[in-house]
Each structure stands twice: as C-alpha cells, then as structure tokens.
Amino acid sequence: MRLFLVVFLTFVVLLNNIDASFLFGQPCSIRNTAYLKVHKWIAPPGEINCVDVTGFKKNMHNKIRLSNYTNFFNKASNADTLYADHINITRFPILIVKSLPNLELIDLSGNKIRKLPTKMFRLAPKLKKLLVSDNKIMIPKRVSLISSITLQTLMLSNNGIHTIYKYTFRKLPNLEVLYLDNNNLKTLNPMFGTLPNLKMLHVGRNYLTAIPPKELVSKSLRQFITKTQKKDIEKRSY
C-alpha cells in the first residue's frame, strides 16, 4: 500500500511539472513549447510556456510581417521563455521579443549578436534572465549596456569583451548573477560599486592581473569565481 502511494504521488508530481517551464525548474518540453518555423508553426494543445524560434532563422532578418503571425503570437502570449539560440543571428530579435510581453527568460546563446537594445525594459518589461554567452557583444563606452529594473541574471561569457566601463552595468539595479568568464578583461575597477545587489560574479578565464576583494566589487557579493586567469603569453600566441 505504501509503495503504491509513493508511486502514485511521484506520478502526480511528474504530471504537475509537465507544464512548468524553464523558470519554474523544469526544462521546456514539446508539451509546453510553441515552435515558429519559416512556413508553419506548431503549438501544443495546452498552456504555452515556451517559444522556440530556432527554426525561423531565415525570416529573422527580413522585416517580419507580424500580421502574418498574429495567431501564433496571440496563442503564445503568456510564454515566459524564448529560445533563439545557436542559429548565428547577428541582430537581437526585437520584433519577436516585443510580441511576447511576458518573457522572463531569453536565450540567445551561441549567435553573432553585437548590439543589445539599450532600452530593454520597453521590449521585455518582465525580463529576469538574459543569456547572451558566445556572441560578439560590444560594450558601449558612454552608456549603459542595457537598462532593466527586473533583470536578475545576465550571461555574457565568451564575447571577446576587452573592457567594461563605469556606465556598463549602471542601469541594472537588481542584477544578482553576472557571468563575464572567458573574455579578455584586464581589470574590473570600473564596475566597482555599480551593482548594489550582485550576489554572484564569474570572471574566470580573463586576463585579470589583480583579484580585488569581494566587498570592493559589491557589498552584497557572496560568490566570486576568478579561477583561472589567462596569461598574456597565451594571448600573444594566437
């Protein structure tokens, strides 16, 4: 009887989790994901938590005639997660992001994006996680990279970033987790004190010559990953 109960409860828990999307601890699956492709779209019968546009790459750069896809975006309007990763797009998919007003996670990892829209809060007012590792993000000198009061996690690993500036992260007051590993940074000084809520910072595999104390980076910093720094010599050899 007890075994039966355990099996039954496990089954109930699994069933309940099926609809949960990435943000709620479960990966997106075919049951909760709507797929936008070049000539068609596929949506599950139940709730849509995730949108996958990786099959839409060819249309991404054209001026998307959103009116053609009204039904798709209406149906997916509650989605909190967008996948547009590893498809070599060179621009941030502004129109698609704008059409999904409830996004909390945007995954654009593994593309060739250079510029992020500064006024991110207008495009994605609920954004919590922005994944842009393995791109070519350029850090502007005199303005913030993006502004968003909701953003909590920003992944900028492996973007060939050489320098950050004092304005770079100034407009992300609630950022808690920042990945800057595998870039070409020599110093973190310009970011000192600009991220009041930062809890985790990963800066491994850069060219940092000195590792500053945690408190100097942010008073709230708890996890500070700095291993391992690359040597200049390594840089010269390629």
Ligand X SMILES: *[C@@H]1O[C@H](CO)[C@@H](O)[C@H](O)[C@H]1NC(C)=O
Nearer to ligand X, 86 or 115 (CB): 86
Nearer to ligand X, 86 or 230 (CB): 86
Give the nearest distance from C-beta 64 to ligand X in angstroms. Answer: 9
Pick the closest to residue 103 from 85, 77, 122 (CA basis).
Answer: 77
The binding site for ligand X (CB under 6 A) comprises 65, 68, 86-88
Nearer to ligand X, 111 or 157 (CB): 111
Tokens 């390594």 belong to: 234
Pick the closest to residue 53 from 77, 36, 33, 28 (CA basis).
Answer: 36
Give the nearest distance from C-beta 138 to ligand X in angstroms. Answer: 18
- Coil, strand or helix: which one is 41? strand
Nearer to ligand X, 108 or 180 (CB): 108
Structure tokens at 160: 């060939």
Structure tokens at 226: 């700095």
Give the nearest distance from C-beta 102 to ligand X in angstroms. Answer: 25
Partner residues linked to 179 by β-bridges: 155, 202
What is the dihedral sign for C-alpha 214, 215, 221, 222?
Answer: positive
Give the nearest distance from C-beta 35 to ligand X in angstroms. Answer: 15
Nearer to ligand X, 96 or 188 (CB): 96
Nearer to ligand X, 65 or 114 (CB): 65
Nearer to ligand X, 79 or 87 (CB): 87
Give the nearest distance from C-beta 38 to ligand X in angstroms. Answer: 7
Say how far apart CA 21 and CA 23 lie, in whole Å. 6
Say how far apart CA 82 and CA 131 lie, in whole Å. 10
Amino acid identity of 148?
A: S
Tokens 């690359």 belong to: 230
Give the nearest distance from C-beta 210 to ligand X in angstroms. Answer: 35
Strand stretches in 127-232, DSSP E: 129-131, 153-155, 177-179, 200-202, 223-225
Query: Per residue in 121-153, is it b (16+ CB within 10 Å) or e — as a string?
Result: bebbeebbbbbbbbbebebeeeebbbbbebbbb
Give the nearest distance from C-beta 42 to ligand X in angstroms. Answer: 15
